[in-house]
Amino acid sequence: MTNSVDSKRIVPNELSMKIWSEEKDYLSTGITRLTYELPISFHKGKNDILWDVDGQSYIDWSGGTLTISTGHCNENVSEAIKKQIDLLWNVHDHPIPQRIEVLKKLRKLLGNDNYVYQFYSGGSEAIEAAIRAAYSYQSFRKRKIASFREGFHGKTRGSIMAVHALYGKSVNPNYLAPVSIPFPKCYRCPYDKEKESCNLFCASETVRILESDPSIGMFIFEPILGTGGVYGPPPGFWDIVKKACRELKILLIADEITAGAYRTGTFLAVEQLNISPDLVVFGKGIGSGFPAMILAGRKDIMCYPGVFCEDNSSSTIKKAEFLGQDFRALGGASTTFGGNPLAIAAINATLKEFDRLDIKSHIREVSNILSSELLKMVESYNVLGEVRTWGLLIGVELVTDKKTKMPNQELAINLYHRCAENGLLIKMDDRGIIHITPPLTLTKENAIKSVQIFEDTLKELL
């Protein structure tokens, strides 16, 4: 990309403000703070650059809430979707020619011949499906969910409880209150321990919590905490916890909606943690921004024994009819739009682009550029507490000073505004953490340029 960013503009500019001033009266207040802070109206994107309606450009460090994997409007993905548009949009679960191509690629990428797959459109929907699959598999006495206190898995949990009366035949979907476990953040240890001497107290504490309640039947976790602040577990944490989960017969459900589809440098982040989950949901970037999510999981969890996977004769289909709303029953796993031909075309083209672009090596290079510059900045500025990097999922912790580690949300908001004026769209959370999640195709040139804008803007503000 040769686009350069303009310097010092009015953001949001005239046309953006005109659109927003009308639009906001029609919208729920429940949209994100980032939009309230800066209601920029975007109208075009190409690779790692966004343009607003006033013609101003921005290097994109937000990546369409992590969905933009192969770049904004990737030509080959666009082409594949356009081609599919004139062919077929929905035939529900019926086989379509590209689906088997995608499934074969996924099986190779996940490296587990024992997984089967189900397609969904949104993250919460796919997470609900994973939990429902685990519910169907576990006994009535083992259906409590354990999760990380700071984790995020979506907003639709109520929907399945709301239809309890209708669908509660064989699987009572009235989830039991989850068991909350603090995420092992070394920078802000929930147990007030020091990394050098803690002896992985977080892992033994997690095991203690899991052991204390035999009704826990599943542990849903983000391998790298995304929305919760871009934190990863300390090395060795999962070796201890996964062993305990196996012994306690607790299913591991990996939520890779943020981390999957190469965001953290490997196709799934669990590869880096050496975890083989029983069920895994991924990933925001799998359709390059087209709505698509995938649930993969152990065949014996996602398929009723003796039904379909091994044998689809009419007698086994009959058996499945009596399973009520079990995930594995007839129609129990599928949804209206999940895996529609347009989504499958987008996934197929995205996977091809990952190969063509050698995305893994590209991410490694660009991630190194960003993180080495950011780490230098941490040495120089007292307000930068820590930089945490997993591929192109990077967290920069802003603090009032390194000693107290007080979150510096005010600086985060100011940086957000001023970076946009300087041509860089960043993303911050309410704890003063900057989340750097650009398209995976961020060019090296724009990686260097953007980190420079970030530093110059920080200097302006200090």
- Residue type at position 303: C
> Closer to ligand PLP at the Cβ: 9 or 153?
153
Residue 56, classed as helix, strand or coil, is coil
Give the residues across from 118 on adjacent strands.
295
User: How far apart are the C-alpha atoms of 223 and 149, rounded to whole Å?
Assistant: 14
Residue of 69, 47, 62 lying closest to 267 (CA atoms):
69
User: How far apart are the C-alpha atoms of 392 and 72, rounded to whole Å?
Assistant: 16
Torsion of CA 396, 398, 401, 403, to 10 degrees: -50
Residue 401 beta carbon to ligand PLP: minimum distance, rounded to whole angstroms: 30
Residue 397 beta carbon to ligand PLP: minimum distance, rounded to whole angstroms: 19
Residue 266 beta carbon to ligand PLP: minimum distance, rounded to whole angstroms: 16
Residue 66 beta carbon to ligand PLP: minimum distance, rounded to whole angstroms: 7
Q: Which stretch in 22-30, 104-112, 120-128, 176-184 sits in contact with ligand PLP by CB under 6 A?
A: 120-128
**Neighbour-count burial for 401-411, b at 16+ CB within 10 Å, e otherwise:** eeeeeebbbeb
Q: Which stretch in 116-124, 132-140, 209-217, 402-410 sits in contact with ligand PLP by CB under 6 A?
A: 116-124
Q: Please count the CA atoms within 13 angstroms of the CA of 443 that sit on its side-chain side.
A: 13
Q: With contacts defined by CB under 6 A, how many residues of the chain interact with ligand PLP?
A: 13
Residue 124 binds to ligand PLP (criterion: CB under 6 A): yes
Residue 67, classed as helix, strand or coil, is coil
Q: Which stretch in 42-50, 122-130, 271-279, 294-302 sits in contact with ligand PLP by CB under 6 A?
A: 122-130
Looking at residue 199, the DSSP 8-state letter turns out to be -
Residue 425 binds to ligand PLP (criterion: CB under 6 A): no
Q: How many CB atoms lie within 10 A of CB 322?
A: 11
* Whether the Cβ atoms of residue 184 and residue 190 lie closer than 8 Å to each other: yes
Looking at residue 391, the DSSP 8-state letter turns out to be T
Of the residues 13, 227, 334, 414, which one makes contact with ligand PLP according to CB under 6 A = 227
Residue 258 binds to ligand PLP (criterion: CB under 6 A): yes
Q: Site residues for ligand PLP, window 144-163 (CB under 6 A)?
A: 152-154
Residue 435 binds to ligand PLP (criterion: CB under 6 A): no
User: How far apart are the C-alpha atoms of 93 and 414, rounded to whole Å?
Assistant: 48
> Closer to ligand PLP at the Cβ: 155 or 249?
155
Residue 256 beta carbon to ligand PLP: minimum distance, rounded to whole angstroms: 8
Residue 180 beta carbon to ligand PLP: minimum distance, rounded to whole angstroms: 16
Residue 147 main-chain phi, psi, to 5 deg: -155, 165
Site string for ligand PLP, 69-98 (x = CB under 6 A): ------------------------------
> Closer to ligand PLP at the Cβ: 117 or 152?
152
Q: Which stretch in 23-31, 118-126, 130-138, 325-333 sits in contact with ligand PLP by CB under 6 A?
A: 118-126
> Closer to ligand PLP at the Cβ: 227 or 276?
227
Of the residues 52, 150, 255, 353, which one makes contact with ligand PLP according to CB under 6 A = 255
- Positive or negative torsion for Cα 63, 282, 101, 328: negative
Residue 124 beta carbon to ligand PLP: minimum distance, rounded to whole angstroms: 3
Of the residues 257, 296, 366, 383, which one makes contact with ligand PLP according to CB under 6 A = 257
Residue 331 beta carbon to ligand PLP: minimum distance, rounded to whole angstroms: 22
* Whether the Cβ atoms of residue 307 and residue 300 lie closer than 8 Å to each other: no
Looking at residue 186, the DSSP 8-state letter turns out to be S
Burial class (CB in 10 A: 0-12, 13-18, 19+), 325: buried
Q: How many CB atoms lie within 10 A of CB 372?
A: 13
Residue 222 binds to ligand PLP (criterion: CB under 6 A): yes
The residues that touch ligand PLP, with contacts defined as CB under 6 A, are: 122-124, 127, 152-154, 222, 226-227, 255, 257-258
